[in-house]
Chains A and B, each alone.
Chain A
């Protein structure tokens, strides 16, 4: 079956360290993959998009990698801060069909401790 998986366990790290979150998928050919941040009781906020022909994307302290051979995307937050504590969602757009319809992971909760 087709699915997209993120670490179900919460990630706890110390302030200043790099947080790395994983998104794995099976049985999809993605056109692109996106990462979102969601705070409790709020809608997700778009962070980064990476296309199938891109290996890496950066935005300030954020970095996303995309390995279509491993069927995996990694999301890194460098020099993490307590304000980075949130749930992070990955979302994949399949190449087939209407690629505006995203396939969502369940999210990984990140806690950055001061």
Chain B
């Protein structure tokens, strides 16, 4: 079974902090994605990566950056957390079409 893990289920950070969200997949998938999900707005793509060190902006990349140094790991970085980044963050990898999601990280920025 494909397994996608995320570093934390719940996270509380203060405004202005730098936040790292880690995602690891164990199936050698090339494509990995970071989404955020908010009520009424659905899943919105922040960034995706189609290979190591390769990345592409999604629909809402502002305030975020990503890093993919190894194929299995895709990190999302909030450079300076703000309250409007309070959300559920979901990581996914593809095989090659269906997306496998991690359990999500519920981030609260106070």
Complex contact B104–A42 (CB within 8 A)? yes
Complex contact A101–B101 (CB within 8 A)? no
Bound-state Cα–Cα, A104 to B97, Å: 14
Bound-state Cα–Cα, A104 to B58, Å: 13
Restricting to B73-110, which residues have a CB under 8 Å from any CB of A?
88, 90, 92, 94, 96-104, 106
Residues of A close to B94: CB separation below 8 A: 100
Of residues A46, A49, A91, A107, which shows the largest number of chain B Cβ atoms within 10 Å of its Cβ?
A46
Complex contact B97–A93 (CB within 8 A)? yes
For residue A82, CB closer than 8 A to chain B, the reply is no
The size of the chain B interface, using a CB distance under 8 A, is 25
Bound-state Cα–Cα, A104 to B90, Å: 14
- From the candidates B42, B56, B102, name the one contacting A43 in the complex (CB within 8 A): B102
For residue A79, CB closer than 8 A to chain B, the reply is no
Residues of A close to B48: CB separation below 8 A: 100-101
For residue B50, CB closer than 8 A to chain A, the reply is yes
Complex contact B43–A89 (CB within 8 A)? yes
- From the candidates B4, B42, B96, B102, name the one contacting A104 in the complex (CB within 8 A): B42
Residues of B close to A42: CB separation below 8 A: 103-104
For residue B31, CB closer than 8 A to chain A, the reply is yes
User: Which residue on chain A has the smallest CB distance to residue B58?
Assistant: A101
Residues of A close to B50: CB separation below 8 A: 98, 100
A–B pairs, 7, beta carbons within 8 Å: A43-B90, A43-B104, A44-B43, A49-B97, A100-B48, A101-B45, A104-B43
